A and B are shown apart, each in its own frame.
Chain A
Amino acid sequence: GENVEQHPSTLSVQEGDSAVIKCTYSDSASNYFPWYKQELGKRPQLIIDIRSNVGEKKDQRIAVTLNKTAKHFSLHITETQPEDSAVYFCAASLNRDDKIIFGKGTRLHILP
């Protein structure tokens, strides 16, 4: 089955700097890659997703890139702000079912 690895498990960046979180997946048939953000004490919420027919997607300060050949995808947050502090989960999904396999999460700390 699909396996998703996520790195790093913890990341601290200065406010205003960029943050990058990387994930790899094992099943080349995966074609949907969502990213969820979970603030302390709250539910995970989708922040951006990408499908395998595109290589990059951007939404304001957040971007996701996908390299299908290497089977990895990354989340990029630019000009980080205090409210970006949270746990971020990457995930991968196959087209033939709705199971989403999550990475173990990255705890992002934005330092003042």
Chain B
Amino acid sequence: DVKVTQSSRYLVKRTGEKVFLECVQDMDHENMFWYRQDPGLGLRLIYFSYDVKMKEKGDIPEGYSVSREKKERFSLILESASTNQTSMYLCASSGGLRTTDTQYFGPGTRLTVL
């Protein structure tokens, strides 16, 4: 069974804080993704990565950065959290080298920025 885990289920931070969201997958997947999910907007891609130390911007990268130092771990960083970043954050991973494949999601982190 593919397992994708996220470091926190719920997180509350203050405006201006630096926030780290961690995602780990145990299936040796090449590809990892960060989405945010908001009511009425579906799943929007923030950043993705095809390989270690590689990253590409998704549709809404502003205000976020990512880090992939190891294949199994993909971190989403909010350099200076703002209230409009209050959302559900979902990590996903997929296998294969640059081939379209099923994405497996983590349980999500509900982030509230006060």
Contacts and interface: CB of A to CB of B under 8 A. Distances in A.
B103 A100 contact: yes
Contacts of A105: 42-43
Interface-central residue, A94, A100, A102, by most chain B CB under 10 Å? A100
A9 B105 CA distance: 22
A44 B100 contact: no
Given A43-B90, A98-B94, A89 B101 contact: no
B48 to A, nearest CB: 7
A88 to B, nearest CB: 11
Interface in B45-78: 45, 48, 50, 58-59
A97 B97 CA distance: 10
Name B's interface SS. loop
Interface residues of B, number: 26
Contact of A46 (B100, B102, B107): B102
B113 to A, nearest CB: 21
Interface in B92-106: 94, 96, 98-106
Interface residues of A, number: 25
A72 interface: no
B106 A102 contact: no
Nearest to A102: B43
Interface of A: 1, 6, 9, 31-32, 34, 42-46, 49, 89, 93-95, 97-105
Interface of B: 31, 35, 40-45, 48, 50, 58-59, 90, 94, 96, 98-108
